[in-house]
Structures are given as C-alpha cells and as structure tokens.
Amino acid sequence: MRTNPNGGSVGRELLFAYIMRRIDHTPDLATFVLKTEPRDAFSWLPGQYCTIGIDDGKGGIVDPRPYSIVSCPEDGVIELFVELVPPPDGNLTPKLWALKEYDHVRLLPKAKGKLLFEPAFRNHVMVATVTGIAPFLAMLWRHFREQTLADHRFLILHGARYQDELTSRYRNELSDLATLLPDQFCYVPAITKPDEERNRGFLGAVGRLPSLLEGAIASRGFVAEETIVYLCGNPDMIVAAKTIAERLGCVTREEQFWKPAKEALR
C-alpha cells in the first residue's frame, strides 16, 4: 500500500464495508456490524482481526486500525466490538463514533492474526478485558456450531470495571451457553468496582482477572498439561495473567490491543 500526501493510504485492493447495524452499549462501547460488497469479498478464521479505516474519498484509507472479529464468516457479516478512545488520544475511534448505519468504512482485504483455537488442548481458558472478548466469541460460535470435539472444555473470564461494559448482548449469550452446557462451558463475568452505583445488583465475580484466574482454573479441575490460556485486551492484564498461567504450567497465547504504558514511551 502507498501513502498519499494527505495522510491517507492508497490501495486499489481496499474494500468497502457498510455499517448495517450499530448498537451503542454505553457512551464509549459500541458494536458495528459491517457488510462487504460483494458479501464474500473478505474471509477470516475465527480469532483473526480485520483492519478498517475512514474513506478519504480518493480511493484511500485514513487511520487504519485492527479490530478482532466477533462473528464467523458463515454469518455473512463482520461484527466488531469497539471501545472509544476519546480525543486527543484516539484517532480512528472518534471518527467511527460519528458514523451511522448505512455509512461506510474502508477495509483492508486480508484478515490477520495468530490467536486461533488450538484443538490439541482439552481445556481452553479465555481471559478478556471488555472488547478483548471479541476473538473468543468467534472461536466459541464456531466450536459450538460444529461440535467438532465434544471433549473440549471452556472457561471464559470476562472482566471490566462496570457491569454494563460486559454488555448484555455478549453477556446474555455467554450466560445462556453456560446454562445449556454446564460441563463444557463456564462463564465468569467479573467487575473491579463493586461499590459503585453502576454495578448495583451485579451477581458475578469481583476482582481483577489475574487474581481470579488461578481459583477459576482450579474450580474447573483443569490439569495444566491439558490447558491453554488465551489472553486478550488490556496489556497490563495480559502481562499479569500470563505470569500466573505460566507459573501454573499452562501454555499461553495472547493478543494485546495496545502497547503497555512503558513500552509506548520507548
């Protein structure tokens, strides 16, 4: 891809994706359901991410950023779960927030990412902060639709400061799955600010994900040699949870959504 003098990137291979549906969960968390033209122009594996940006009106893309995909290719749409990073720090997300249904974005033609389901392990522990749940949802939908290996067992830890950041859209789906398949699937929603009014009535776990991880793995009776721990979202959570998972002897995989503060300064 080349760069144009106006700051955007130019590439004939860029796709158009229309916003079919936008769901605002909180003022700074939204789901964008995109549709490409043609429908099958973009393909991906559950767990991978796409790169979207704003159309510069000259065939290029402005502020391209990667987003993990919530949906599976068979859904026919690209569903993204996005957090607003307000100005002055955020670049693409404030522009995305100004878009409405039927507006379009530009999409790089290839999905990327190596955070993929690893079927060789029996136990799959997925640890996510807020929007970090995205790649795990795609992996789960694919797995439970196909029921390829009924022997696989899942434990999901999904953390946020506030319960509404776990979003009813995803929380309800995961809770329903846990009720339906209690032996195969366990869902632990967790918040870190239990005393705040916004969290009134919350019935899940309280605490940071790294401090909940060891107990959650033990409660499911997962043996380390058969267990993989996938980590996604906030880099500080990933560093801390990875240390614990590795101390327990588990294999880990990760996708950091941004650079930890110290690294960003280097």
> What is the binding site for ligand FAD (CB under 6 A)?
49, 63, 65-68, 80-83, 85, 89-93, 113, 131, 134, 255, 257-259, 264
Integer Cα distance of 8 and 230 in angstroms = 34
Quick one: 65 or 193, whose CB is closer to ligand FAD? Answer: 65
CB of 21 to ligand FAD, least distance (A): 16
Closest approach, Cβ 154 to ligand FAD, in A, equals 20
- Bridge partners of 105? 17
CB of 204 or CB of 233, closer to ligand FAD: 233
- The nearer residue to ligand FAD, 189 or 235, going by C-beta atoms, is 235
For residue 66, the minimal CB distance to ligand FAD (Å) is 4
Shortest Cβ distance from residue 38 to ligand FAD (Å)?
Answer: 24
The least distance separating ligand FAD from the CB of residue 89, rounded to whole angstroms, comes to 4
For 124, phi then psi, to 5°, come to -120, 110
In 172-216, where do the E strands start and end?
Answer: 185-191, 205-206
Pick 14 or 217: Cβ nearer ligand FAD: 14
Nearer of residues 83 and 185 to ligand FAD, judged by Cβ: 83
Closer residue to ligand FAD, CB minimum distance, 79 or 123: 79
Tokens of 163: 């319960």
Tokens of 173: 């789906």
CB of 29 to ligand FAD, least distance (A): 8
Residues paired with 67 in a beta bridge: 50
DSSP sequence for 56-82: -SSSEEEEEEEEEB-S-GGGSSEEEEE
Q: What are phi and psi of 163, to 5 degrees?
A: -65, -35
Q: How far is the CB of 43 from ligand FAD (least distance, A)?
A: 17
Residue 105: which of 52, 50, 62, 144 has the closest Cα?
Answer: 52
Q: Which residue has the tokens 């690294």?
A: 263
Distance CA 238, CA 137 (A): 18
Q: Count other C-beta atoms under 10 Å from residue 176's C-beta.
A: 11
* Burial classification of residue 74, based on how many CB atoms lie within 10 Å of its CB (0-12 exposed, 13-18 middle, 19 or more buried): exposed
Q: Name which of 36 and 129 has its Cβ closer to ligand FAD.
A: 129
For residue 94, count CB atoms less than 10 angstroms from its CB and return exposed for 0-12, middle for 13-18, buried for 19 or more.
Answer: middle
